[in-house]
Chain A
């Protein structure tokens, strides 16, 4: 950690390489520590409690390491154009913040003592704030960053209050004190406090309003890191709390499931109407947090009803989705960043035809899209499959209300999957396929190999988990059984691994079929004539790229269905019936985040209006302020005289 301060001292050109080595060193060290925890001796037993990671922490450490390493590799290429524009101090602050974000995340998953946990949490918030405002010359970016920082501190407040309440009863402020507190008092209040605090970080709706602003404002490797790993710290916190809950388990599970279903469906619905590529991806992170929450929620419900299968499959699915999401979300953000770097616009409606100019980026984005929609044979399918399996297996033995709950979850998951396909065909298709929709695309070129390698690594991991799911699910299931105390032996000896290995075989057969049919096709095309021509235009001679579908038109039939819920604003002057030669018209749609406007903007505006009314008291003249102080002292005197105070 001390070495990181060295970043400030070195000359500007070598700073990046130095940071790279530093990060890799730390990654290597912590990975070894995570994989072989028994090798660690505890060097500082007094300062930090528990630096020996348990299985959950090890899992998260490996996750953090992989994505941080790839994110930092990627940022090497991404930040190159900014090298000359940014001052030396800004550059080193950015790199330094990267290192500290990484350190703080590792500390968050390692520490259990309340105060040190909160310090690490705060460190994480501050360092990510510094990373987000990299382009602080743009006033909006600075404002977004400050909004983010404020929301993180609100979350910190909730966590502090929760820790203090639990600590007062048990005398120990920290995660370990929770068990003692929960056995004696009602679990719900403190759990809700924790859920709110961690939920703001994770991005559950309606606590999510910082996410869609912060992710587009930050540079892409930072967005990838934040979306892939940092918001999972919220999930980590919730799971840590779940280790200790003793009573009210059913209601807690219901709360988690309810918020997650809501976040999942609303998140992807709001993603569909966005036309900024990174905002779209940010809303998708909210949706995936919803899916993770669904897994965890049904796991908790399984704990409440004593249904071992549901518990294990739910938690395993949720945890595996944490890993999967970090992989494919970082992949998607990296490639979105490459697109931005090449075309200098994030607006989907201005892109198009990039598949020809940036073939590798397009291919990686496609892999990421397929994985995020949960399509086989990639990893997203495996985690969603586990959740489905848990739901379906629990149907026969559940009561009436529980069956209805399971039914609603099933419908919700199916809807989320379908909506995600709707959204990502738009994102991939309109950005990379078809013809260019504006001049921004003309100078786009493929990015450097250095920027492609992290995508390659992530894609390899995605495919590996998708095809070789058995090896990945087993350790995750062990973690799940630790959380819930359920015994996985029944599932292990049962047909679960047979099921997973058969899925892998089926996936393999599918890939084999693709190869076979493609070979047949190539053979066939060699024997026959292949010609090219323009796309069929139904006889329109003046058709051009403006007649293609844009992101807004793609989302239109969906948003007209969902209008009461989404509130997209449309401003247009319609062409009248008798308008034979209409003048030029203007059409504008703008997606609106209803939660932001109703929950955040309205109260803030009301508060500002109130403050404006009493602003007359700030006259700037010191005599008036002394008068105020004197009046206050008089008031205190009067109140004490009448014994009110």
Chain B
């Protein structure tokens, strides 16, 4: 229960830290860390313009996007305290809830009848299809390692420093979670959030026609999504039996570190050629299978 306000608090600062990191690395001073939140506030004060082609699907899509995100937080734990509604195999629920949000964003984009948004929606559908196995294989290996199937139980039983092989697995898992988070939020190298040319966009072009309140909802959803993945990373790195004070401190520092890593990766990476993206995302599934291999060794299924 404690986890939810922490995640929301981290979401507050997350996009700002990414933006600030990118600015500092490019030699500018950059906007303040709270700037994206001020932008959301400004958007909330505006009215909306809707396209005449759109129907109710377009209008409901951001609402459902945010609702799925909040519902997915229900199963994410914090430290030793279980999530709000934990249950077995709840990461399947988590994954499919996010998929529901993406489904609605895709059809919301198709509702505008514009070829730009069709392009973005098409790519988003393909990439989210390719990323599903990677996340589920990663969580499956966690389940195989710890013997539990719920986020809360898995992270309670997972001790990073128990065994050097488990540390290796933890590192692979960390790398995978960072990459998955970056792909789900359509960051580099899949998509460049700064360009607004349709040929290079995935997420940005899907939300092209949204304005005002709906756009604010979408930004909030993105921020929360970052924070949720950061919370998962934190749970996998920090042992759950440490003092709660340390936990909270480490939580925020890991979230900030995660944001800085994303900012650095974005500044120094070029965007992939669009045709290479599918192969790039499939590589993550291959890396997840490597993690599976490591866990096979750890659990003595593969006798060394």
Contact = CB atoms under 8 A, between A and B. Distances in A.
13 contacts: A370-B100, A395-B140, A396-B299, A400-B296, A407-B140, A425-B103, A435-B113, A509-B74, A509-B85, A521-B214, A545-B113, A549-B119, A558-B126
Contact of B96 (A381, A396, A499, A561): A381
B103 A375 contact: yes
B48 A510 contact: no
Nearest to B110: A429
A525 B213 contact: yes
Contact of A554 (B114, B118, B213): B118
Nearest to A546: B115
Contacts of A400: 296, 301-302
Contacts of B102: 421
Nearest to A435: B113
A528 B48 contact: yes
Contacts of B48: 525, 528-531
Interface in B259-304: 278, 285, 289, 292, 296, 299, 301-302
Nearest to B100: A375
B85 A433 contact: no
B171 interface: no
B66 to A, nearest CB: 6
Nearest to A420: B129
A360 interface: no
A39 B50 CA distance: 61
Among A396, A399, A496, the one with the most B-chain Cβ atoms within 10 Å of its Cβ is: A396
Contact of A410 (B75, B85, B136): B136
Return the 5 tightest CB-CB contacts between A and B, nearest first. Answer: A549-B118, A418-B129, A429-B110, A434-B113, A529-B47
Given A392-B149, A433-B55, 4 more contacts: A414-B133, A521-B63, A534-B51, A557-B123
B29 interface: no
A498 B87 contact: yes
A506 B71 contact: yes
Interface in B87-125: 87-89, 92-93, 96-97, 99-100, 102-103, 106-107, 110-116, 118-119, 121-123, 125
B88 A393 contact: yes
A275 to B, nearest CB: 15
A506 B85 contact: yes
Contacts of A537: 114
A386 to B, nearest CB: 9
A541 to B, nearest CB: 14
Contacts of B121: 425, 429, 549
Contact of A429 (B63, B85, B106, B212): B106
A502 interface: yes
B163 interface: no
A389 interface: yes
Contacts of B46: 528
Contacts of A499: 87-89
A393 B66 contact: no
Nearest to A430: B110
B88 A533 contact: no
Name A's interface SS: helix
A548 B115 contact: yes
A607 interface: no
Nearest to B52: A532
Which of B52, B85, B103, B126 lies at the interface centre, i.e. has the most chain A CB atoms within 10 A of its CB?
Answer: B103
A152 B198 CA distance: 50
Nearest to B299: A396
Interface stretch (A46-54, A163-171, A512-520): A512-520
Contact of B111 (A424, A433, A530, A533): A433
A418 B147 CA distance: 26
Contacts of B144: 395-396, 403
B248 interface: no
A355 to B, nearest CB: 5
B208 interface: yes
A153 B199 CA distance: 53
Contacts of B122: 549, 553-554, 557
Nearest to A411: B133
Contacts of A403: 144, 296, 301
B137 A505 contact: no
A538 B208 CA distance: 11
B103 A373 contact: yes
B9 interface: no
A376 B97 contact: yes
Contacts of B92: 384-385, 388-389, 392
A306 B99 CA distance: 34
Nearest to B59: A521
Contacts of A510: 67-68, 71, 97
A514 B64 contact: yes
A396 B103 contact: no
B75 A506 contact: yes
Interface of B: 44-57, 60, 63-64, 66-68, 70-71, 74-75, 85-89, 92-93, 96-97, 99-100, 102-103, 106-107, 110-116, 118-119, 121-123, 125-126, 128-133, 136-137, 140, 143-144, 147, 149, 198, 208-209, 212-214, 217, 278, 285, 289, 292, 296, 299, 301-302
A496 B87 CA distance: 9
A433 B113 contact: yes
A85 interface: no
B217 A517 contact: yes
A535 interface: yes
Interface string A430-458: 10011100000000000000000000000
A366 B100 CA distance: 12
Contact of A561 (B67, B106, B213, B278): B278
A422 interface: yes
B112 A535 contact: yes
A533 B52 contact: yes
Nearest to A395: B144
A513 to B, nearest CB: 4
A547 interface: yes
Contacts of B131: 418
Interface string A238-267: 000000000000000000000000000000
Given A370-B100, A425-B125, A510-B71, A524 B112 contact: no
B236 to A, nearest CB: 17
Contacts of B55: 355-356, 359, 433
Contacts of A534: 51-53
A495 interface: yes
A407 B144 CA distance: 10
B217 A422 contact: no
Interface string A415-429: 101110110111011
Given A385-B93, A505-B85, A429 B111 contact: yes
Contacts of A381: 96
A374 interface: yes
Nearest to B146: A396
Interface string A342-363: 0000000000110110010000
Contacts of A421: 99, 102-103, 125, 128-129
**A395, A406, A528, most chain B CB atoms within 10 A:** A395
Nearest to B208: A536
A616 to B, nearest CB: 55
A222 interface: no
Given A429-B111, A506-B74, A532-B50, A495 B97 contact: no
A533 B113 contact: no
A450 to B, nearest CB: 24
Contact of B99 (A375, A388, A531, A553): A375
A502 B121 CA distance: 32
Nearest to A506: B85
Contacts of B71: 506, 509-510, 513
B251 to A, nearest CB: 24
A63 interface: no
Contacts of A366: 57, 107
B71 to A, nearest CB: 4
B113 A513 contact: no
